[in-house]
Amino acid sequence: MPEDAAKRAEDFLTLVQRAERGKLKLYIGFAAGVGKTFRMLEEAHALRKRGVDVVLGYIETHGRVDTQALVQDIEQVPRRKIEYRNVVVEEMDLEGVLKRKPKIAVVDELAHTNMPGSKHKKRYQDVLELLDAGINVIGAFNIQHLESLNDLVSRAAGTPVRETVPDSFLKQADQVVNLDLAVEDLVDRLKAGKIYPPEKIEWALEHFFQGQNLSTLRELSLREVAESLERNAAKQTPAVQARAAVGGRVMVCLASHPPHAATLLSRGSRMAGRLSTDWFVVYVETPNEAPDRIDAGIQRHLHANIEKARELGAEVVKLQGSDPVACLLDFARSHGVGQIIIGRSHQPWWMQVLARSVPLRLVREADGFDVHIVSFSEEDERP
């Protein structure tokens, strides 16, 4: 077993030995084929050599010979078989892993959506239950599945990303490892048949595995893991915590039905992550927006945005008042907010002036705060 795999195993084992709630280690990559599953299995072997009780909760080898070879000699919890639309699908047996109660479980493809009838909708939620039960987990996912990057990656790749992991899950990780690889080397691995079977290679090269797309994803992956390491350092370093306190908490101002809510929430999540601070999503319900005065469609969108904000790790606050700006600023002053994020109004400038729009008033009245007005057209063009 390579020396670096043994060292990685020793580092994680030190955390495990101090644990009550399970510890979480994540391997993150920028695309399929960078070696996440292979490295997890290497670490599992190194831990077994140390006498640690390790099992495979769920591993997806994708038929890769080198990866399949590493599955040998490690105990696997038998998968749960579910028949869905006349097809038998295999899922991780959550109850089986809980009953087996290993010291460490290895779980792949954390953004996966479980079949209907499963206890949890997503596999990362299964992992959260394992952690609550005191089981340590080594897991993996690709950067395009991180919720706050969803829109950005979909635009860059030209392909919608439907399965996501919330940023709040990533922030719970005790260790995060980035699996980096030169784009040219990854493409060579694809062409050599080491990632997908021959019949899928040409399609992959024409779509997801284009050079610029991979370069963008690689940059995002490197940046995200660097910020994750900074967040972990902030938990332990008073100097970093002091800098975060100076920056203040982050507040995202949410309207009842903003057209670009996902972009606002992603911006708030990422800013709070960079500052290693808490963040709020605040919605002011005016008398004209009482539940009995707005239509059901707007209410559904509002509830969906609130749920997404919670998935991203925000504390959602609903205020009531006739003056949204006064409510927002009172809340910001009483809750240590330093950064205010709001979307740009789509009204003509003269209407904003005459009607005294919320963004315009915030800029004028928010003394002592940094106000960030998000221009969605600019956001859409960001690489």
What per-residue confidence (pLDDT) applies to 156?
A: 66
Q: How far does the chain reach from its first CA to its final CA, in angstroms?
A: 39
What per-residue confidence (pLDDT) applies to 349?
A: 46
Instruction: Tell which phi-psi region holds residue 51, choosing left (phi > 0), alpha (psi between -120 and 50) or beta.
Output: left
Asked if residues 174 and 15 have their Cβ atoms less than 8 Å apart, the reply is yes
What per-residue confidence (pLDDT) applies to 149?
A: 80
What per-residue confidence (pLDDT) applies to 383?
A: 34
Q: Supply 138's token pair.
A: 């080594």
Q: Which residues pair with 194 in a beta bridge?
A: none
What per-residue confidence (pLDDT) applies to 229?
A: 62
Q: What's the burial of 295, exposed, middle or buried (CB within 10 Å: 0-12/13-18/19+)?
A: exposed
CA distance 29 to 143: 6
**Residue for token pair 């030190």:** 14
Asked if residues 75 and 56 have their Cβ atoms less than 8 Å apart, the reply is yes
- Which residue, 265, 244, 269, is CA-closest to 337? 244
Alpha carbon of residue 148 to chain centroid: 6
Cβ neighbours, 10 Å, residue 372: 16
- Which residue, 127, 126, 158, 163, is CA-closest to 143? 163
**Residue for token pair 């920056």:** 247
CA distance 233 to 251: 23
What per-residue confidence (pLDDT) applies to 291?
A: 67
Element (H, E) at 341: strand 337-343
Q: How many CA atoms does the CB half-sphere of 295 hold within 13 Å?
A: 3
Asked if residues 279 and 252 have their Cβ atoms less than 8 Å apart, the reply is yes
List the domains of the chain with CATH numbers.
3-235 (3.40.50.300), 238-381 (3.40.50.620)
Element (H, E) at 43: helix 36-49
Q: Which residues pair with 116 in a beta bridge?
A: none
CA distance 168 to 312: 5
This prediction's pTM: 0.67
Residuewise pLDDT in 10s, the chain (383 residues): 566 666 666 777 776 666 578 999 999 988 888 889 999 999 999 999 999 999 999 999 888 888 899 998 899 999 999 888 888 899 999 999 999 999 999 999 999 999 988 999 999 999 999 999 999 999 999 888 888 787 777 766 666 778 889 888 888 888 888 888 888 888 888 888 888 888 888 878 877 777 777 888 888 777 777 766 666 655 555 554 544 455 589 999 988 766 678 888 888 888 887 787 889 999 888 887 766 666 777 778 888 888 888 878 888 988 888 888 899 999 999 888 999 998 876 554 444 444 457 777 888 888 889 988 887 654 443 33
- Which residue, 61, 58, 127, is CA-closest to 90? 58
Asked if residues 51 and 14 have their Cβ atoms less than 8 Å apart, the reply is no
Cα–Cα distances (Å) from 33 to 180, 188, 235, in that order, read 11, 11, 32
What per-residue confidence (pLDDT) applies to 183?
A: 83
